[in-house]
Structure 1
Amino acid sequence: MSLLKNKVVCITGSSRGIGRACAVESARHGATGLILHYYGDEVTEKEVLSLKAEVEAFPGAKAVVVPGDIADASTAAKIVEAGVAAFQRIDVLVSNAGICPFSEFLTMPHATWERTRQVNLDGSFYITQAVANQMKSQTPQGGSIIGVASISALVGGEFQVHYTPTKAGILSLMQSCAVALGKYNIRANAVLPGTIATDINKEDLSDAAKREGMVKRTCLGRLGEPEDLAGPVVFLASDLAKYVTGASLLVDGGLFVNLQ
């Protein structure tokens, strides 16, 4: 199926993990334009260039890559400018860029709180606002915005006291954007991944006992993979979800509901 046929999709933090999987799945479903944001260091540059080649292997797909710190408001402006220059419009935003430096609460440096908030929440606000303005101005008007929040928006974590509020903020941001932007035919929804095996938690999950404990807490008996998020994101981006806005979709293998 080509759920995103001829659509232009913008993804922040696309070089690896969930962002990368969403880019590949978008191209697989017919997206003709991919705006691939990445941090901009040597490692992420290599990763995003390999991603660009991968998505452009799909028929009709073209990609532009845009570096920059998403915590800087000017990066959002550059992403939109580059995307519109290449493709004339933006139909879908996947606001995915984020960090999670695990830290003990009582001794956490304030700089850790500041940086986590700036990247995760401020960055999501900046790119959502910038893309929403483009979606409002283009013809035909409208689009789909998907914020990658987390199950951590709903529950707590001992070493995530700085992280969980940012993800709750993204969930709230999408809910309020759904209200603010509906009149422009712009939908806004959130996906809430559970424990997904990515670089963001690689070190934390290197503890075999902790990893096994997380696996046992899921109903499906496994950790998530980035590809597990890509399908729900494509659904929310597509016209199959044309009457879905302000929603939050848990993608956690049943982690949240499993109290036993």
Structure 2
Amino acid sequence: MSLDIFRLDGKVALITGGNRGIGLATAKLFGEAGAKCLLSARSETDESRALCEGENFAFVPGDITDPATPGKLVDATMEKFGRLDVLVNNAGVADGGDFHNFDDERLDRIMSTNLIAPFRVARACIRPMLDQGAGSIVNIGSISGYVANKPQLQVAYNSSKAAIHQMTAVMAFEYASRGIRVNALAPGYIRTRMAIDGMEDPAMSKVWQENTPMGRFGEPEEMASCALFLASDAASYVTGATLVADGGYITH
């Protein structure tokens, strides 16, 4: 067996939340593996702008919670690159606080971004994949879909990520016979903007690292390599799975 099964030559990927963190690291690695990538987020960063100067990358701004955005992203991908083989459903937000004080505005923001928007994006991407008879979807979940995090309280976020894991399993069941694989990646504490405030808080950082058997935080590039595995033919017999990449956090 050749290591070429990890490559994405001739494939086109749509990556939401692609302007920084896990999304941007994934785009870079996919590009190295031969893929063309369309990235989307509310706005560009200097790093995503520099990446998209290359002919194999493009950036389309968009509010992922707008019901019209998923269709626009798929149309832009098809117009730019002519096909759509891989979706990395990465865009998300985090928020926390006492359950009894968690107001509807914050609840709506979490669920519309972390669950409803990924549902709509996947639904839009399924259509060209069905036409091609092949495709791979990687939904970004979280260890928070399995555990109650500590010391922070974040029941809405955890619920949204647990729903992503279940959505992944049911989608995989529905489309396995039609050539489309659907898997999820559940990161632990990764050094991204979403987690950086906690990582820079000595008390919180201490708890997080003490509860991670490997004793350190993960890097976006480590999540990108997991996403590449799930997206590539190296995972050709893998569907409906949630790959946990957390330094051992959920083992205890």
Instruction: Give yes or no for the alignment of 1:38 onto 2:41.
Output: yes
Q: Is the 8 A contact 2:18 2:41 kept in 1?
A: yes
**What is aligned with 1:52?**
52
Correspondent of 2:227 among 198, 213, 233: 233
Matching residue within 93, 97, 102 for 1:103:
97
| Alpha-carbon distance in structure 2 between the residues aligned to 1:167 and 1:113 | 13
Query: Where in structure 1 do 4 or more consecutive aligned residues deviate above 6 Å?
Result: none
Per-residue deviation at 1:200?
0.7
Deviations 1:22-79 (A, max 9, x none): 0011011111x11101113xxx3545312313xx3xxxx6112111111112110010
Q: CA deviation at 1:105?
A: 2.0
SS in 2 for 1:65: strand
Equivalent runs, 1:88-167 vs 2, <5 Å: 88-138=82-132, 141-157=133-149, 158-167=152-161
Match of residue 10 from structure 1: 14
Measured against aligned partners, the alpha-carbon deviations of 1:126-166 in whole angstroms (never above 9, x if no partner) come to 0000001110013xx21100000000111123521110111
Which residue type is aligned with residue 143 of structure 2? I
Partner in structure 1 of residue 218 of structure 2: 224
User: Greater shift after overlay, 141-150 or 1-10?
Assistant: 1-10
Greater mean alpha carbon deviation, residues 2-11 or residues 141-150: 2-11
- The size of the alignment, in residue pairs, is 246
Q: Is the 8 A contact 2:20 2:45 kept in 1?
A: no
1:170-207 Cα offsets, whole Å, 9 max, x none, are: 11111011011112200000111011121112222221
- Consecutive unaligned residues of structure 2, counting only runs of 5 or more, are none
Q: Distance in 1 between matches of 2:231 and 2:169?
A: 16
Read off the aligned partner of 1:152 and give its amino acid letter. Answer: S
Q: How does 1:177-188 map to 2 (within 5 A)?
A: 177-188=171-182
Q: Is the 8 A contact 2:51 2:57 kept in 1?
A: no
1:221 CA drift (Å): 1.7
Q: What amino acid sits opposite 2:114 in the alignment?
A: N
Q: Which residue of 2 aligns with 1:209?
A: 203
CA RMSD, 1 decimal? 1.4
Q: Name the amino acid aligned to 1:11.
A: I
Query: What SS does the aligned partner of 1:188 have?
Result: strand
TM-score by length of 1: 0.90
| Identical aligned residues as a percent | 37
